[in-house]
A and B are shown apart, each in its own frame.
Chain A
Amino acid sequence: MSDVTDLSEVIAGTVQLRARHLTRHFTTRTPGRGFNVKHIVRAVDDVSVDLVAGEVVAVVGESGSGKSVLARMLARIVRPTAGDLILRGTQIPRKAKRSLAYASQVQLVLQDPFSSMNPVHKMRHNLVRPLLIHGAKREDVEALAEAALTRVSLEPPSRFLDRYPHELSGGQLQRVSIARALCVEPRVLLADEPISMLDVSVRLGVLNLLRGLCDNDDLAILYITHDIASARYIADEVIVMYAGQVVEHSRGTVLVDEPTHPYTQLLIASVPDPADPTSVGAPTAEQVQMVIAEKGCRFNPRCPFVMDRCRVEEPPEFIVGENHTSRCWLHADKPQFEVEVALPQRRGGGEITKT
């Protein structure tokens, strides 16, 4: 981890939030016969991600893959079991309490806009409250709230400030919750499935808004989704998670166009594709059920290409192309390099090129 502290000044310019080896285990107890059986759920296991100004990183995975826990750890709502968070070059002590300063830099937008707004208060209250908490002057807050609404294209803002959440449509409400996250001027926006509760016709509007914020305001965005098509549409970097692990990772959307991990292939085959009705090749029941293997590759019970080795040994991340890794034994015979060398090739420079 020495590279992190050494290069902290350089990184501060581009990498806004860096997570290294983030891990979160939950302990559950199932009542057994006379005693409790203790289980450890590895919700997130050794995930590293860099959120860079002006880029969207998409995390794709189905329910239970640990993607929301990852977002909550990045927002410091869930405390990691292990791993480091570095916000703009400063290492965050793991035991420290979540501070207001951190929250003003890293904001989270939730999936369901209807339940993330206080239903008995108008939009004005919902927007002004975070501003006051983060120390804005009372006489400025009205103007700041209006500016935030304008930023998410809710115009004229005066029309929306006096509305209650139930008076707005889902798309408008999600825009307000993005505005609420933006009004404290964060550097990092964590969007946890921001479009999955919205109507198809307004989804693109929200995606375009996020992309615009990223391009125009140099925001670093983490976009969490189960829909790999929307990740392809918006992302600069795509991470596919399964059972708490990163199984495939690529710069650009290479992994969508040329998936190398069987799980990514399953995700892609599941997207409805009316252009190609012959693709209705349904996954088998074994492929669908979320079974996590205790031993070997975590995907092996669902994998159509499973080999003996997969049942015994857990695969490391293999390099399968330029800035493209895949955690699958199928790629074991490819020539290997240091993983750290291949991945971070950032736009705008100022990055680790350890040799």
Chain B
Amino acid sequence: MSTESIEVSGVVTSANETSDVSVVTTPHTDQRTDGPAMGQRILDVRNFSIDYGWGEGAVRAVNNVDLHLNRSTVLGIAGESGSGKSTLVYGFTRLLRSPGVIVGGEALFNLGPSEDGTDNIIDLVTASEKELRSVRWSNISVVLQSALSALNPVLRVGTQFEQVLKTHRRDMSKADRRARTVELLALVGLNEDRLRRYPHELSGGQRQRVMIALALALDPELVIMDEPTTALDVVTQREIISKLYELRSRFGFAMIFITHDLSLLVELADEIVVMYAGAMVERASAQALYDTPRHPYTLGLLNSFPPMHGVRTELTGIPGSPPDLTDLPTGCNFHPRCPYAMDRCLKESPRLEELGEDGRSVACWLHSGDEGVVVPVELRRTGRGKREPIPMPVKEDVS
């Protein structure tokens, strides 16, 4: 895991004209705050914003996002390419490369109870390189999308495990390290003889399993998966997912799973966040999101999967293309593709509001409760058991 220097600005300049969200200047006080006990909460990201570039040309890639995650739970982040899901995660883990700049927000990580009983909390945004180094891999680890480019191509698989353990666990003897490596490979169902292999000698699924084993090497409390199955075919994907499921119930780490495949998340995650153009548009428990989507974009995503059962009907998916972040539409970012767009959506950008249904939030004017706004029936369903895609009106003139 790289440790390049990252620009952290305490001073916030709202450079992005198109963004109507006034960014709150985050007070950076003590680096290690013995604040309120976080309890079961392991990660609390607040008002997080990231720009690419500086000054006039800055592009807001992540806009005022709040995330929180409890111990041993799985949070799914879904969205199209360019929706800011990976940028967000690289931002709060401080792996973001220049020209990415964190322009606001805090990311509190709970290191567990300290000696006096209060929670030992670190703000990852303001933490020093030294502090980050102690947290990375031991507490937070990352599995990257492309295992072939994440593994060192000129080192044997065994050497790469050896180096991680040697760097982070100074007290381990050579025999211990070897034993631990074999144990880790066994966890992901790989034979010991893979240790002598180079990454290019392994299949895509095996490489990804090596990455997962590496991520678990130091028993982290939080594992971040950045599209770990996107390059794999469905059978291998299924196997990786069930492996992760098994490992998580065994070791109880929390997981953030990033993907553009919402159907996968519904199976795997406890809670799902849907992102669009750098902002969160809906947050709900996995089952609720699937059964009763509230945001038109979520509904569109759910309608984008050809079903395996039932009659073949033509599906529409979501018309148009993901927005260009340098040229965002006025008002709600989704309105050019939204079949329900109203006048208000063209002018004002909706904020993420609680819906009053069991921890669900949505950013859509349809749910503002305003007079005269009728929520379409497909976005106010209740109950379970959706099997067929819910029909959605077709949006015309989208290029």
State the A residues within 8 Å of B (CB): 62-63, 154-156, 159, 169-172, 199-205, 207-208, 226-230, 232-234, 253, 256, 266-275, 277, 280, 282-283, 285, 288, 290
Contact = CB atoms under 8 A, between A and B. Distances in A.
B322 interface: yes
Interface stretch (B38-46, B67-75, B233-241): B233-241
Interface stretch (B9-17, B21-29, B259-267, B354-362): B259-267
B80 interface: yes
Nearest to B388: A275
Contact of B234 (A62, A205, A234, A256): A62
Interface residues of B, number: 48
Contacts of A201: 80, 260, 300-301, 304, 317-318, 322
A61 B261 CA distance: 20
B316 interface: yes
Contact of B309 (A62, A199, A230, A275): A275
B184 to A, nearest CB: 16
Contact of B81 (A154, A170, A232, A275): A170
Nearest to B316: A204
Contacts of B203: 63, 290
A227 B322 contact: no
Contact of A280 (B245, B300, B315): B245
Contacts, number: 132
B175 interface: no
A171 B308 contact: no
Given A62-B233, A63-B233, A232 B238 contact: no
A275 B386 contact: yes
A62, A171, A204: residue with the most chain B Cβ atoms closer than 10 Å = A204
A282 B321 contact: no
Contacts of B242: 280, 282-283
A13 to B, nearest CB: 27
A228 B301 CA distance: 19
A200 B234 contact: no
Contact of A203 (B243, B307, B317): B317
Prevailing SS type, chain A contact patch: helix
Contacts of A273: 263, 267, 308
Interface string B226-262: 0000001111111101110110000000000000111
B319 interface: yes
A274 B288 CA distance: 12
Contacts of B81: 169-170, 199
Contacts of A271: 234, 308
Interface in B264-317: 264, 266-267, 290, 300-301, 304-309, 312, 314-317
A275 B387 CA distance: 6
A204 to B, nearest CB: 3
B235 A283 contact: yes
